[in-house]
Amino acid sequence: MTPPPPASLVPAGQDQPTSVEQASSLYKSGNIGAAIEIVEARVKSHPGDIAAWRNFVRWLTESWQFTRADAALGQALAVFGDDAVLLTLQIFVKQELGQSDLARTVAANAALLYPDRLSFQFDSRLLLPMVYADKADLNARREQYTTGLDELETMLPVMHQDPARIYTLERSNFLLAYQGEDDLPLQRRYANIVGSMIAAADPTLRACPRRSRPFLSGRAADGGKLRIGVVGKWFFSCTAGNYFERWITRLDAARFERFVYYTGHISDDVTARIGAAAEHFTLLQSGTRSNAQRIRADELDILIYPEVGMSTGSYLLASCRLAPLQCAAWGHPVTTGNCAIDVYFSCAEMEPADHPSHYTERVLLLDGIGVDFAMPTAPAIGERTDFGLPASGRLYFCPQSIFKIHPDMDTALAQILEGDSNAVLVFFQADSRAVTMAFADRLTRTLAVRAINAKGQIKFLPRLSASAFRSVLRLADVVLDPFHWSGGGTSLDAFAGDVPVVTLPGRFMRGRQTAAMLRMMAADVLIASDVEGYVRTAIEVASNKTLNKDLRALINANKRALFDRDDLNAQFADVLCALVRE
């Protein structure tokens, strides 16, 4: 590796052009598309401006334009050599593009070049692939991850010599939960590493703030409202945003003062509704330490993280003590492992009997699906030809992100093709062609072992708009829920269009969401107890027209149990009030 160049080729002290300042302003306000256009023009006109290149690549990644980001990184690294920021971005982009081994190699080399940069130390030991070659590969990667934690724990005394480096961490353990195993021990160890460094860097950020006033019957003794904070990166139209929007917008303003801290950069109607409803809406665009101090200064009574683990920023903040009571929810449905989080909100219908053993947090169970989820508009059913689907054959949709499809499901997919010669398996492409092909190759190997010729029976649709996705989903004869990680928003989209979903409940909540929804609609017949039952039920639902029609009618009649449940907002408010009385 070549030595790094100076931090910037722009002369020291030279002011950035107004256009770049405008780009930063647009980015901070949520208009990331316009910001990208401006900074792209800047790197073309001033290719020696490393700050512009860094922003250009980072903003491309934040808008999921990984192929463009990869090309831009190639150009920038050719000019600037092994710049630490660009290398950090390259590792992330290569992982997202399905080149996990290359990403790990880049991280390992960068860790030697920049031994004090924590992201490289974490990436070189903990990076996981988007798609596993098979179950043996998954097991090997999990063992590698565990060994990586061993090494990081051994390095802690050295890392504690400059603990403030933790604030620069750009590594998330997001993909671990998709392995389908009990992650509590690993999550606890990861959280302890991060938390110990935050405590060493600034002990005040790990000290629990005192409650500033007593509460009686859910109200402050001084008559004030309960001060509720919500931190998140996904307050826009996506699964997490749609799930938890009404936890904010429908919270009783007469009883609660709402503080929303948005760490993301995408703005749409969901963002606007949340911003309009909250008494305080803050865009957190500074570093972790400044953001933490900003939140702590508001003297909240309860702080809620709906999706801890989906981004590094939210994970670092959740590792601080910024309110007397801190809660997580199932936007990323796995324990945080974090001693700074007191309560985990989950759903009674979705949790197994032994659920307390799956969490380091105290679990509070909510009714229904736990949230007041708005009924999605069901668009008209399109034509198969509109989406490039075959005119004949029965459509078995597996519409989840490809990284959610566990190797354990491959045999069931093969058995469906064996049991129904007219079956067509329909998946959706990943953002990266390499990720899509890695899954397709894995499934092809499974089919080859069983001597299945699936020519024309496997289709990959492009990523679609929300409306188009719901339209094509209604063409499915049946939806196949993934093993170990069931559908959340995707299953709700299916049920909104009266489409039957077959599921095999997993051991953990993250594999049981669809089963809970089906029970709430009295559609238990779609819940299998084993793989053979899953395959048998899927084939029967797809091929038996009378049964299929009856199931759609049943879902149509009972789906209101899932949607527009204002009573769940009242329950959530009561739970919050009960918590402060304890």
Collect all residues with Cβ–Cβ distance below 8 Å to 472 and sequence separation of at least 6: 382, 386, 387, 389, 461, 464
**Phi/psi at 220 (5° precision):** -65, 145
400: left (phi over 0), alpha (psi -120 to 50) or beta: beta
Bridging pattern class, strands 215-216 and 501-502: unpaired
**Phi/psi at 406 (5° precision):** -75, 145
Whether 177 contacts 332, CB under 8 Å = yes
pLDDT reading at 4 higher than 70: no
Task: Render pLDDT for 530-552 as a digit per residue (tens, 0 to 9).
Answer: 999 999 999 999 999 999 999 99
Can you give the length of the chain in residues? 582
> Which residue bears the tokens 């993250």?
510
Predicted local confidence at residue 454, as pLDDT: 86
Mean pLDDT over residues 494-511, rounded? 97
Q: What is the pTM of this model?
A: 0.91
User: How many helices (H) and strands (E) in the chain?
Assistant: 21, 14
- The CATH-assigned architecture of domain 18-173 is Alpha Horseshoe (1.25)
Predicted local confidence at residue 2, as pLDDT: 33
549: left (phi over 0), alpha (psi -120 to 50) or beta: alpha
Task: Render pLDDT for 353-386 as a digit per residue (tens, 0 to 9).
Answer: 999 999 999 999 999 999 999 999 878 888 999 9
Mean pLDDT over residues 343-361, rounded? 97
Predicted local confidence at residue 44, as pLDDT: 93
DSSP 544: -
Predicted local confidence at residue 216, as pLDDT: 57
> Which residue bears the tokens 């708005």?
374
Measure the CA–CA gap between 434 and 102, rounded to whole angstroms: 13
Task: Render pLDDT for 100-141 as a digit per residue (tens, 0 to 9).
Answer: 999 999 999 999 999 999 999 999 999 999 999 999 999 999
Q: Where are the domains of the chain?
A: 18-173, 205-374+565-581, 384-561
Task: Render pLDDT for 291-309 as a digit per residue (tens, 0 to 9).
Answer: 999 999 999 999 999 999 9
Mean pLDDT over residues 547-570, rounded? 97
DSSP E strand stretches across 405-532: 423-428, 458-461, 478-480, 501-502
Count the Cβ atoms, other than its own, within 10 Å of residue 432: 22
Task: Render pLDDT for 211-265 as a digit per residue (tens, 0 to 9).
Answer: 766 665 555 656 689 999 999 999 999 999 999 999 999 999 999 999 999 998 8
Amino acid identity, position 98: G
The alpha-helical segments, DSSP class H, found in 131-213 are 135-159, 184-201
The string of DSSP codes covering 109-127 is HHHHH-TT-HHHHHHHHH-
Task: Render pLDDT for 36-77 as a digit per residue (tens, 0 to 9).
Answer: 999 999 999 999 999 999 999 999 998 889 999 999 999 999
Q: Report the candidate in 350, 386, 380 with the shortest Cα–Cα distance to residue 368.
A: 350
CA dihedral 66, 67, 72, 76 (to 10 degrees): 80
Measure the CA–CA gap between 303 and 231, rounded to whole angstroms: 8
Measure the CA–CA gap between 337 and 333, rounded to whole angstroms: 12
Mean pLDDT over residues 485-510, rounded? 97
pLDDT reading at 419 higher than 80: yes
Return the percentage of the chain with pLDDT > 90, whole number: 85
The answer to whether 18-173 and 384-561 have equal CATH topology is no
Return the percentage of the chain with pLDDT > 70, whole number: 95
Return the structure tokens found at 86. Answer: 């660009």
Predicted local confidence at residue 510, as pLDDT: 97
pLDDT reading at 430 higher than 50: yes
Least confident range of 167-171, 246-250, 398-402, 413-417: 167-171
Predicted local confidence at residue 12, as pLDDT: 33
Predicted local confidence at residue 215, as pLDDT: 64
pLDDT reading at 11 higher than 80: no
CATH of domain 205-374+565-581: 3.40.50.11380
Amino acid identity, position 574: D
The mean of the pLDDT values for the chain is 92
What is the band of 32 on the pLDDT scale with cuts at 50, 70, 90? confident
Measure the CA–CA gap between 281 and 356, rounded to whole angstroms: 34
Mean pLDDT over residues 315-332, rounded? 96
The CATH label, of 3.40.50.2000, 3.90.1010.10, 3.40.50.720, 3.20.20.10, for the domain at 384-561 is 3.40.50.2000
Angle at 56 between CA 52 and CA 61, to 5 degrees: 150
Amino acid identity, position 364: L
Whether 125 contacts 152, CB under 8 Å = yes
pLDDT reading at 166 higher than 70: yes
Provide the terminal-to-terminal Cα distance of the chain, rounded to the nearest Å: 57
Q: What is the 3-state secondary structure (H, E, C) of 219-230?
A: EECCCCCEEEEE
Return the structure tokens found at 380. Answer: 């008209």
Collect all residues with Cβ–Cβ distance below 8 Å to 20 and sequence separation of at least 6: 38, 39, 42, 49, 51, 52, 55
Q: Report the candidate in 382, 381, 373 with the shortest Cα–Cα distance to residue 559.
A: 373
pLDDT reading at 6 higher than 60: no
Distance of CA 101 to the CA centre of its chain: 22
The string of DSSP codes covering 303-368 is EEETTTTSSHHHHHHHTS--SSEEEE-TTS-S----TT--EEEEETTTS-TTGGGG-SSEEEEEST
Q: For residues 30-54, b (16+ Cβ closer than 10 Å) or e, as one string?
A: bbbeebbebbbebbeebeebbbbbb
Predicted local confidence at residue 285, as pLDDT: 82
Whether 202 contacts 289, CB under 8 Å = yes
Measure the CA–CA gap between 416 and 396, rounded to whole angstroms: 9
Measure the CA–CA gap between 205 and 216, rounded to whole angstroms: 28
DSSP 204: G
Predicted local confidence at residue 16, as pLDDT: 44
Predicted local confidence at residue 221, as pLDDT: 54
CA atoms within 13 A on the CB side of 346: 27
